[in-house]
Structure 1
Amino acid sequence: MPFLPHTPATTSSAARATGRRLLVVGAAVPLMLSTVFAGSAFAHGSTIDPASRNYGCWERWGDDFQNPDMATEDPMCWQAWQADSTAMWNWNGLYRENVGGDHQAAIPDGQLCSAGNTAGGRYAALNTPGEWKTTAVDNDFTVTVHDQALHGADYFRVYVTEQGFDPVTEELGWGDLELLADTGVVEPGEGRPSDGEALNGVSIDIDVSAPGRSGHHIVYMIWQASHYDQVFYACSDVSFPGN
């Protein structure tokens, strides 16, 4: 809140009104800044289908994030909201800079879903194994990544966990993943335009084939943006046909 000098008792009503307006504006500035941070001026993106863990939690609960029913209906999202709610409000900002293409060196095993606990650990709760909500997919499916700010990409890479990995009890490590798609260069602005809520950029569809998988798996997406050495990461939980 901005410093306001002491107002003498003789101050006019007009001056008092001006002081009140300053107080209102001062109180609104943090809200305005947080709104801009989460909005298009700082927009980036994430996997929206199958939804990344933080995007899915925001999509399901953003309008009702204080509902105690989340604890029983969606317990992994509940623990994530309790740990750091800004991970969901900033679902489009899970990235690291200056990785230099060496993702495994930048991100330790067990921290893949938080991009190595980037942003001061804001996204750390996304690493927690458990019964994350899954999206049902076939063994041939499409991953959709949303590029809000039209960054384009040097590449999108999509990995899927090996059969036998258990997302409910095991932390995700690099050795658990198989690379199944690599787009190469995607030019800025390339993709399907979207005017969906909180999107307003373009969506890029990536075809993936994951034979031999059944049950709960993690789809791991790496997006090397083309505008800067800035890399976005996302964990999405899926359910393949079968047990």
Structure 2
Amino acid sequence: MHAYRHADQTRPLLRAFALVTAALLFLVPWADSAAAHGSVVDPPSRNYGCWDRWGSDFQNPAMADLDPMCWQAWQDNPNAMWNWNGLYRDNVGGNHRAAVPDGTLCSGGQAEGGRYNSLDTVGPWQTTDLDNSFRLHLHDQASHGADYLRIYVTEQGFDPATEPLGWDDLELVTETGSFAPTQDIYVDVDAPGRTGHHVVYTIWQASHMDQVYYLCSDVNFG
């Protein structure tokens, strides 16, 4: 009887340990995983930025005032942030405009069953301060490599806080060649003639298969 009571008292501790371990796995940004993919981490994509700022405190009601766009995203679907590395579409065949209609660019055309739809919400997303010449950092957890990256920046006069993002709002400023499989890709970008809040829009065509990532990063050109 004594042994039974001891085992019964131990079970809650084991359950608690399992929950803490699972939580820690979510909070390790560069953990290797066969299912891992990637995203732009500098300037951070919308969902990576929300995960980076609030992943360890995502139930804090202060987020509603401090970071309202991340707050609405967490309320809509927390998995968009936990899966910050999974915003992609398969088998696009290079026809990005057909796969991703206007107004849905930041969700990759409502990719993954609409998991990332909150990223299309118009409003005052937190920005990263940048010079007009900057270096973009893509973290590729699974080392997919790239056939190319196409990096667009919104035209001067477009306001991400009040207008949905469409293809005609973007200027292609950089298109790269291919990258061999690696975990970190860096690209130098020039976006002259811009000030204020803009969106840097990155299309990453992975090279391991026809898999394309569509990534919005909010920036402030000083």
Give CA-to-partner distance per residue, 1:54-92, whole Å, 9 cap, x none. 000000000000000000000000000000000000000
What is the TM-score of this pair, normalised by structure 1? 0.80
Counterpart mapping for 1:56-67 below 5 A: 56-67=49-60
**C-alpha distance in structure 1 between counterparts of 2:185 and 2:36, whole Å:** 16
**Deviation of 1:173 (Å):** 0.4
Q: CA deviation at 1:40?
A: 3.0
- Within-5 A mapping of 1:35-184: 40-41=32-33, 42-184=35-177
Cα distance, 1:142 vs structure 2: 1.0
1:103 to partner: Cα distance: 0.4
Structure-2 residue corresponding to 1:6: none
Q: Which runs of 4+ in 1 moved over 6 A?
A: none
Whether 1:216 aligns to 2:219 is: no
Mapped to 2, the partners of 1:69 and 1:129 lie a distance apart of 20
Q: Which residue of 2 aligns with 1:229?
A: 210
The amino acid of 1:232's aligned partner reads: Y
Secondary structure of the structure 2 residue equivalent to 1:40: coil
Q: Which runs of 5+ in 1 are unaligned?
A: 1-12, 190-201
Q: Post-superposition shift, 1:205?
A: 1.0
1:203 and 2:184 equivalent? yes
In the aligned structure 2, how far is the partner of 1:174 from the partner of 1:93?
Answer: 22
Report SS of the residue matched to 1:59.
helix
Mapped partners of 2:179, 2:79: distance in 1: 29
Equivalent position amino acid for 1:57 in 2: C
CA distance in 1, matches of 2:181, 2:69: 34
Could you say which residue in structure 1 is the equivalent of 2:220? 239
In the alignment, the residues of structure 2 paired with residue 188 and residue 52 of structure 1 have an alpha-carbon distance, to the nearest angstrom, of 21
Count the aligned residue pairs.
Answer: 212
For 1:156, what is the secondary structure of its paired residue? strand
TM-score by length of 2: 0.87
Mapped partners of 2:197, 2:164: distance in 1:
14
Q: Cα distance, 1:228 vs. partner?
A: 0.4
